[in-house]
Amino acid sequence: MTLRAENIIFSYRYGRLVLQGITLEIRPGTVTAMFGPNGSGKSTLLRCMNGTLEPQSGDVTVNGREIHSMSRQEIARQIAVVPQDSPADVPLTASEMVMLGRFAHWDIWGQEMPEDRTIVQESLARLNATALAERSFGCISGGERQRVVLARALAQQAPIMLFDEPNTHLDISHQIELYRLVRELADEGKAILMACHDIFVTPMFVDNAVLMHSGGIHAAGPAAAVLTPDNVEAVFGASIEISWQKDFSFSAIFT
Amino acid sequence: MTSVSRAKWLTVVLLTATLVAALVSLMVGSVTIPPAQVLERCFAALKGQMSNDATDRILLSTRLPRIILAAAVGSALATAGLAAQTLFRNPLASPYIVGVSGGSAVGAVAAMLLMGKVAAITFAAVPVFSVLGGLTVTAIVFFLGRRGHNVGPGLLLAGIAIGALCSSVTAAALYLAGERLQILVFWLMGGLWRANWQEALLMAPVSAAGLVALIILAPAMNVALVGERSAQDLGVNIARLQKLLLVLIGVETAVAVSLTGVIGFVGLIVPHLLRLVVGADHRWLVPATALGGALLLIVADTLARTLAAPVEIPVGILTAVVGAPVFLWLLQRRGVRETL
């Protein structure tokens, strides 16, 4: 499944132009990371790409099919979203929360099948969250909640996954775990687009990087070619020195 | 015990309790009829064999339609309350929150004041006016919600504002009512003393249709618990769900209020009470709430007509007297956190 945005122009009502003609393609088996300062349009682009916002012009297509011709349920079978934040005041247990990921696959009566329960258990296990299954979603920590929400996205079994700053509530070891999982999912054939702030750790795990600036794409391509000191300074206004190693890791020094 | 087996168990308990309450309610009143005779007469009537004596008239023409109306109104108000709490993601929401009851009250009061002054308007027109008032408010709120693109706190406030406007109109009408003040006040307090087969057979299908609709919407309502944005991501057409819930709340409440006046508390407390017991899964919560609402109103109405007989206590007073202590007890035991 390929997710493609073509020449997306978007503004909120009475607002300034948030996206100014973005073209972006997410292919199976790849991780694309989207960087950019706050307000550069990353989250808005993600919401356009899963059809929850309708751009003023431009098309979003899933394998060539116009996204706005699909029902919400059809879209959710193709695209899973991991949001930045999830309200904690949800009166469900963690496993009930993950079960919501199966909604996209249900018919009108919403009858859950034994296979749904298996998928929920597997998704929780993959996130090392089996122990949380019967805990109340409102009573676990922010990081644990984020893992449950991730498990929910896995339970959707969608070939395309969009992550909106997924590491916000995670400590460094859970962040690395998350990136490894994202890499694994891409290697299994999923197409992944991830908005993130962390230009230091993320590049090690991604195939492509997109650097957004004021609603446009400043640079796109392999991470090493995109995250250059010049580009980072132009977009973030932060002056750093970057040296890339062979294994895609790099060190950065603030100057 | 898992929440599913607890929910199944509770559904059976609620169903049994509702049937027992209905049986007891058929037995008691100005004339006490023994249970065996109640069952015998009811089964005979089902076969079309009516003796048309005083016992049959009390049972089949007075008590039975009243119990059916109580069950249908209780279930409609309780499920509409649950729908409102889910729609607004707000534990304080009740079926009256969007101003529907206010609109119904204005309609009813208008009809009562026009009675005798306009030839076409008789007491039979009161429910018609009332339902029109309630549906008008639903339509206004629906329109506001559509323009605002989402059903958030804005719509809640709009509903409260419309409700306040309706209360002022009602208050003004009461002030100008003169000798009709008493029937107006009595109507507004809510009660089932006017119950007849016509009303019961109007309310029952509305309740049943609402219940079926909510059972179908239950999985989507579960997803809606996580907030509008995530619900959309998970495959729910949230705008359509919100419109359906709003219409459902509006119609169920408007019809119920037009037939029985404003009966408080059922729609607010029953969903909370059952959420404490069965959890937040709407696939169980919806049927449990419908049964709980029916049970509460049958019990409250039976008390309303027997406690101070031959005088009737307005049933709205008793729904709170019966429901509040049970609710507070559960709240103490299980904690506020789990209520929503």
Long-range own/partner contacts, residues B60-64 (CB < 8 A, 24 or more apart): B61/B196, B61/B197, B63/B25, B63/B26, B63/B29, B64/B26
Residue A234 falls inside a structural domain? yes
Asked if B237 has any chain A CB less than 8 Å from its own CB, the reply is yes
Asked if A157 has any chain B CB less than 8 Å from its own CB, the reply is no
Q: Do A76 and B234 touch (CB under 8 A)?
A: yes
pLDDT band of A244, cuts 50, 70, 90: low
Taking the C-alpha atoms of residue B101 and residue B136, their distance in angstroms, rounded to an integer, is 11
Say which residues have a Cβ less than 8 Å from residue B27's Cβ, sequence separation at least 6. Answer: B33, B34, B35, B38
Q: Do B234 and A52 touch (CB under 8 A)?
A: no
Residue A182 falls inside a structural domain? yes
Give the torsion through C-alpha atoms of B194, B195, B201, B206, to 10 deg.
80
Strands of the sheet containing A57-62, edge to edge, are: A17-26, A3-11, A57-62, A65-66
Asked if B276 has any chain A CB less than 8 Å from its own CB, the reply is no
Strands of the sheet containing A216-222, edge to edge, are: A79-82, A160-164, A191-195, A31-35, A208-213, A216-222
Q: What is the pLDDT of residue B149?
A: 52
Asked if A96 has any chain B CB less than 8 Å from its own CB, the reply is yes
Centre a 10 Å sphere on the Cβ of residue A255 and count the other Cβ atoms it contains.
9
Q: What is the pLDDT of residue B188?
A: 79
How close A245 gets to chain B, by Cα (Å)?
38
Q: What is the pLDDT of residue A79?
A: 95
What is the count of structural domains for chain A?
Answer: 1
Which of A148, A79, A147 is CA-nearest to residue B235?
A79
Asked if B160 has any chain A CB less than 8 Å from its own CB, the reply is no
Closest Cα in chain B to A161: B233
Taking the C-alpha atoms of residue A190 and residue A204, their distance in angstroms, rounded to an integer, is 18
Residue B21, exposed/middle/buried by CB under 10 A (0-12, 13-18, 19+)? Answer: buried
User: From residue B174, how far is each of A81, B125, B131, B168 by CA, in Å?
Assistant: 55, 18, 19, 10
End-to-end CA distance of chain A: give it in Å, rounded: 42
- Taking each helix axis from N to C end, the angle separating B64-88 and B238-260, rounded to the nearest 10 degrees, works out to 150
The yes-or-no verdict on residue B24 having pLDDT over 60 is yes
Residue A12, exposed/middle/buried by CB under 10 A (0-12, 13-18, 19+)? Answer: exposed
If you average pLDDT over residues B288-316, what whole number do you get?
90
Taking the C-alpha atoms of residue B191 and residue B195, their distance in angstroms, rounded to an integer, is 9
The yes-or-no verdict on residue B329 having pLDDT over 70 is yes
Q: What is the pLDDT of residue B337?
A: 47
Q: What is the pLDDT of residues B210-257, one digit of tens each?
A: 999 999 999 999 999 898 889 999 999 988 898 899 889 888 988 898
Check: CB of residue A192 under 8 Å from CB of residue A31: yes
Q: Which residues pair with A254 in a beta bridge?
A: A240
Q: Do B229 and A52 touch (CB under 8 A)?
A: yes
Q: Do B219 and A103 touch (CB under 8 A)?
A: yes
Task: State the DSSP code for B25.
Answer: H
Closest Cα in chain A to B4: A96
If you average pLDDT over residues A80-109, what whole number do you get?
88
Mean pLDDT taken over chain A: 87
HEC assignment per residue over chain A: CCEEEEEEEEECCCCCEEEEEEEEEECCCCEEEEECCCCCCHHHHHHHHCCCCCCCEEEEEECCEEHHHCCHHHHHHHEEEECCCCCCCCCCEHHHHHHHHHHHHCCCCCCCCHHHHHHHHHHHHHCCCHHHCCCEHHHCCHHHHHHHHHHHHHHCCCCEEEEECCCCCCCHHHHHHHHHHHHHHHHCCCEEEEECCCCCCHHHHCCEEEEEECCEEEEEEEHHHHCCHHHHHHHHCCCEEEEECCCCCEEEEEC
ipTM: 0.89
Q: What is the pLDDT of residue B1?
A: 45
Taking the C-alpha atoms of residue B249 and residue B256, their distance in angstroms, rounded to an integer, is 11
Taking the C-alpha atoms of residue A213 and residue A194, their distance in angstroms, rounded to an integer, is 16
| Chain B hits for A109, Cβ within 8 Å | 216
Asked if A107 has any chain B CB less than 8 Å from its own CB, the reply is no
Taking the C-alpha atoms of residue A30 and residue A185, their distance in angstroms, rounded to an integer, is 9
Residue A90 falls inside a structural domain? no
Residue B147, exposed/middle/buried by CB under 10 A (0-12, 13-18, 19+)? Answer: exposed
Asked if A100 has any chain B CB less than 8 Å from its own CB, the reply is yes
How close B315 gets to chain A, by Cα (Å)?
32
Asked if A151 has any chain B CB less than 8 Å from its own CB, the reply is no
What is the residue whose two structure tokens read 């009602």? B170
The larger pLDDT score, comparing residue A7 to residue B186, is at A7
How close B236 gets to chain A, by Cα (Å)?
6
Which of B133, B224, B223 is CA-nearest to residue B170?
B133
pLDDT band of B130, cuts 50, 70, 90: confident
Which of A160, A18, A198 is CA-nearest to residue A82?
A160
| Chain B hits for A106, Cβ within 8 Å | 219
Please report the number of interchain residue pairs, chain A to chain B, with beta-carbon separation below 8 angstroms: 79
Going along chain B from its start, the domains and CATH numbers come out as 3-338 (1.10.3470.10)
Residue A180 falls inside a structural domain? yes
The larger pLDDT score, comparing residue A50 to residue B116, is at A50
- Taking each helix axis from N to C end, the angle separating B153-176 and B64-88, rounded to the nearest 10 degrees, works out to 140
Q: Do A83 and B233 touch (CB under 8 A)?
A: yes
Q: What is the pLDDT of residue A246?
A: 59
Query: In sequence order, what DSSP letters do the residues of B93-105 get, joined into one string?
Result: --TTTTSHHHHHH
- CATH number for the domain spanning A18: value is 3.40.50.300
Q: Which residues pair with A69 in a beta bridge?
A: none
Residue A149 falls inside a structural domain? no
Taking the C-alpha atoms of residue A3 and residue A24, their distance in angstroms, rounded to an integer, is 8
| Chain B hits for A86, Cβ within 8 Å | 226-227, 230
Percent of chain B beyond pLDDT 90? 26
The H or E element containing residue B306 is helix B282-306
Of B222, B225, B233, the CB nearest to A52: B233
Task: State the DSSP code for B115.
Answer: B
pLDDT band of B339, cuts 50, 70, 90: very low
User: From residue B150, how far is each of B142, B155, B242, B244 by CA, in Å?
Assistant: 10, 8, 8, 13
Query: In sequence order, what DSSP letters do the residues of B276-305 get, joined into one string?
Result: HHH-S-HHHHHHHHHHHHHHHHHHHHHHHH
Q: Which of residues 62-91 of A touch B (CB under 8 A)?
A: 71-73, 75-77, 79-81, 83, 86-87, 89-91
Q: Do A83 and B236 touch (CB under 8 A)?
A: no
Q: Which of residues 281-300 of B touch A (CB under 8 A)?
A: 281, 283
Taking the C-alpha atoms of residue A98 and residue B31, their distance in angstroms, rounded to an integer, is 56
Q: What is the pLDDT of residues A181-235, one digit of tens each?
A: 999 999 999 999 999 888 877 888 888 999 998 888 998 888 888 888 888 888 8
Asked if B223 has any chain A CB less than 8 Å from its own CB, the reply is yes
Q: Which of A62, A84, A100, A152 to mutate to test the interface with B (most CBs of B within 10 A)?
A: A100
If you average pLDDT over residues B289-317, what whole number do you get?
89
Q: At residue B253, what is the residue type? A: T
Taking the C-alpha atoms of residue B309 and residue B30, their distance in angstroms, rounded to an integer, is 8
| Chain B hits for A84, Cβ within 8 Å | none
How close B100 gets to chain A, by Cα (Å)?
28
Residue A142 falls inside a structural domain? no
Q: What is the pLDDT of residue A248?
A: 57
Count the residues in chain A: 255
Q: What is the pLDDT of residue B145?
A: 67
Residue A135 falls inside a structural domain? no
Centre a 10 Å sphere on the Cβ of residue B194 and count the other Cβ atoms it contains.
15
Asked if B66 has any chain A CB less than 8 Å from its own CB, the reply is no
Stretch among A28-32, B53-57, B170-174, B236-240 having the lowest mean pLDDT? B53-57
Of B227, B233, B237, the CB nearest to A87: B227
Residue A183 falls inside a structural domain? yes
Check: CB of residue A27 under 8 Å from CB of residue A2: yes
**Domain membership of residue A189 as a residue range:** 3-85+159-254
| Chain B hits for A79, Cβ within 8 Å | 233
Q: Do B337 and A139 touch (CB under 8 A)?
A: yes
Closest Cα in chain B to A52: B232
Taking the C-alpha atoms of residue B69 and residue B75, their distance in angstroms, rounded to an integer, is 10
Omega into A159 within 30° of 0, i.e. cis?
no
Mean pLDDT taken over chain B: 84
| Chain A hits for B222, Cβ within 8 Å | 92, 96, 100, 103
Which of B248, B28, B322, B284 is CA-nearest to residue A110?
B284
